[in-house]
Structures are given as structure tokens and as C-alpha cells.
């Protein structure tokens, strides 16, 4: 009986700890959003981080988008051939890519590449007391280190998602042309024949929320790291894992919200 109560107590403490951590991270993110709007602004630092997060992630995102386009094209063809609907392959691929696959894959890729980097970089600065040194010379470390990185993630994610979508369309064309010899013009026209505003713009904009999650989790874990180099490694790993989980969970809510705000026309 005592063992049963002990298990329930540990489970309850774990759940309460998860809620407390979520609350702390949410307050951290809200503070960052407020700091972005208040002067002094740090445009040079934001641009530097957009380059680091966005441009440096482009090869990974482009290659992944191209591969996803090829694979989606092959799977779509295998399914639609049974119904004699091969002409719908480009449109089906474009809708699937724009609505869900492109945004989610891009966010998870960036969480793996950038989230770990932010957590490790700020964690190293924390344990080596560089953040304290910034405060000592009257620099707002939160605004300079966290708010700029979070804003850069918010700005970079929609751009990287558009890159993934474009490379996915190109990959789908290459796969389709290899099988059926379809021209680029015909493929492009068919791909965008069914794509509407709600299929591309809202799902792409929602990745700004994913950017907020990646930046906030990475910065929070980095700036609260402790226990030397072991804490830095832990912050880096947890940044990737927790931001990926939050992206998947929040994506469910955002997809439902998009369906409510932009309903399909009968």
C-alpha cells in the first residue's frame, strides 16, 4: 500500500514539476516578446543570428525538402495509380507539403540544429560566468543574448519553411519527370491548381510560433544551466528533445486553429 502511495506521489510531483517548468518557460518567452518591442533595439545582433540560424540551415533544409518531395511523389503515385488519377499527383503533393509536411519537418530540423547550438552556447556562457560579466558592464544580458536569438528564430523559420516547400516541389517534379516525362510547366500548373491561400500562408506563418518555441526553450535552458560542462551538455540535449516535443504538441493546436479561422469551402 505504501509503495502504491509512493508511486502516486512521485507521479504527482513529476506532473507538478512539468507544469511549473512549462510556466517558467512561458514567462521567459513572454518577457522576451516584450523586450523585443522595447528600446534599445539590437538590429545588428538580430541580423547576425538570422544569418547563423537561417542561412547556415539552408543546405540542410533544402536537401531535406528535395528528398521529401521525391519520396512524397513516389508514395502518391503508388496510391493514385490504383484509381487512374496520376494527373492529381502534383496537386496532392503540393497540398500535403504546404499544409503540414514542410512546416513540421522544417521546425524539427531547425530544433535539432539550432536548439542544441543555442543551449550549448548560452550554457557555456552561464557556467563560465560570461553572462555575469555582461551584467557587470551594464549590458542587459537577457535582451542582448536571449531576446535577439528568439526574434531571429521567429524571423528565420517561415523563410526556411518556404525554402523546404520550394525544394519539395522541385524534388516532386524530378521524381515525376523521371517516371512520366512530364514537363515543368505542366507539373507547375497542376501542382498549384488546387493550392489556396489557406494551404500555404497560415501553415507557413505558424512556423513563427515554432521559432518562438525553439528560441525560448534553448535560451531558457542555456541561461539556467549549472554544474559546469556536464550542465552545458544537458542543456544542449534537453533543448532539442523538449523543443521537438513542444513543437509536435503545439502543432496539433495550431492545425485545429487554422481549420477554424480558415474553413474549407464546400
* pLDDT number for residue 248: 94
Q: Residue 86: CA atoms inside 13 Å, Cβ hemisphere, count?
A: 11
Neighbouring C-alpha atoms within 13 Å toward the C-beta of 173: 16
Confidence of residue 3 (pLDDT cuts 50, 70, 90): low
The pLDDT value given to residue 25: 87
Domain extent, residue 76, equals 28-258
Q: Residues 261-264: contacts with CB within 8 Å, 24+ apart?
A: 261/202, 262/197, 262/198, 262/202, 264/198
Residue identified by cell 514537363 is 183
Higher pLDDT, 161 or 2: 161
Residues in the chain: 266
Q: Which residue has the cell 542555456?
A: 222
pLDDT at 12 over 50: yes
| Confidence band of 139 (pLDDT split at 50, 70, 90) | confident
- Per-residue pLDDT band for 215 (boundaries 50, 70, 90) equals very high
**What pLDDT does residue 11 have?**
85
203's CB contacts (< 8 A; 6+ apart) are 98, 99, 100, 102, 103, 161, 258
Span 15-41, mean pLDDT?
A: 87
Q: Looking at 161-263, which runs of residues are DSSP E strands?
A: none
- pLDDT bracket for residue 265 (50, 70, 90): low
Specify if 1 maps to a domain.
no
**pLDDT band, very low/low/confident/very high, at 4 (cuts 50, 70, 90):** low
Given the C-alpha cell 494527373, which residue does it identify?
Answer: 87
Is residue 112 over pLDDT 70? yes
pLDDT exceeding 70 applies to what percent of the chain? 97
| Mean pLDDT of all residues in 133-142 | 80
Name the band, by pLDDT with cuts 50, 70 and 90, for residue 266. very low
Query: Could you report the per-residue pLDDT of 47-97, keeping only the tens digit for each?
Result: 999 998 888 899 999 999 999 999 988 888 877 777 777 788 888 888 889
Looking at residue 264, its pLDDT comes to 66
Domain-located, residue 21: no
What CA–CA distance (Å, rounded) separates 118 from 137? 23
In a domain, 16, yes or no: no
Residue 104, domain member (yes or no): yes
The total of structural domains in the chain comes to 1
Q: Specify if 245 maps to a domain.
A: yes
Structural domain contains residue 199: yes
Task: Tell whether 228 is covered by a domain.
Answer: yes
Convert the pLDDT of each residue in 235-248 to its tens digit.
Answer: 888 899 999 999 99
Global pTM exceeds 0.75:
yes
Q: Does residue 266 lie within any of the structural domains?
A: no
Amino acid at each position: 500500500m505504501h509503495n502504491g502511495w509512493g508511486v502516486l506521489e512521485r507521479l504527482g510531483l513529476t506532473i507538478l514539476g512539468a507544469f511549473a517548468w512549462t510556466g517558467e518557460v512561458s514567462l521567459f518567452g513572454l518577457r522576451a516578446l516584450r523586450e523585443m518591442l522595447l528600446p534599445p533595439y539590437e538590429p545588428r545582433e538580430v541580423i547576425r543570428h538570422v544569418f547563423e540560424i537561417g542561412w547556415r540551415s539552408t543546405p540542410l533544409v533544402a536537401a531535406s525538402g528535395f528528398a521529401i518531395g521525391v519520396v512524397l511523389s513516389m508514395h502518391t503515385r503508388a496510391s493514385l495509380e490504383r484509381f487512374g488519377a496520376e494527373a492529381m499527383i502534383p496537386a496532392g503533393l503540393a497540398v500535403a507539403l504546404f499544409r503540414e509536411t514542410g512546416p513540421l519537418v522544417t521546425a524539427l530540423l531547425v530544433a535539432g540544429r539550432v536548439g542544441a547550438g543555442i543551449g550549448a552556447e548560452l550554457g557555456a556562457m552561464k557556467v563560465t560566468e560570461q553572462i555575469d560579466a555582461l551584467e557587470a558592464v551594464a549590458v542587459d544580458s537577457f535582451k542582448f543574448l536571449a531576446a535577439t536569438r528568439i526574434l531571429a528564430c521567429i524571423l528565420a523559420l517561415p523563410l526556411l519553411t518556404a525554402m523546404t516547400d520550394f525544394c519539395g516541389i522541385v524534388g516532386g517534379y524530378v521524381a515525376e519527370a523521371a517516371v512520366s516525362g512530364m514537363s515543368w510547366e505542366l507539373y507547375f500548373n497542376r501542382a498549384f491548381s488546387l493550392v489556396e491561400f489557406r494551404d500555404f500562408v497560415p501553415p507557413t506563418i505558424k512556423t513563427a510560433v515554432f521559432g518562438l518555441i525553439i528560441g525560448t526553450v534553448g535560451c531558457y535552458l542555456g541561461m539556467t544551466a549549472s554544474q559546469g560542462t556536464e550542465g552545458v551538455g544537458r542543456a544542449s540535449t534537453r533543448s532539442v528533445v523538449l523543443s521537438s516535443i513542444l513543437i509536435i504538441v503545439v502543432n496539433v493546436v495550431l492545425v485545429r486553429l487554422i481549420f477554424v479561422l480558415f474553413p474549407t469551402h464546400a
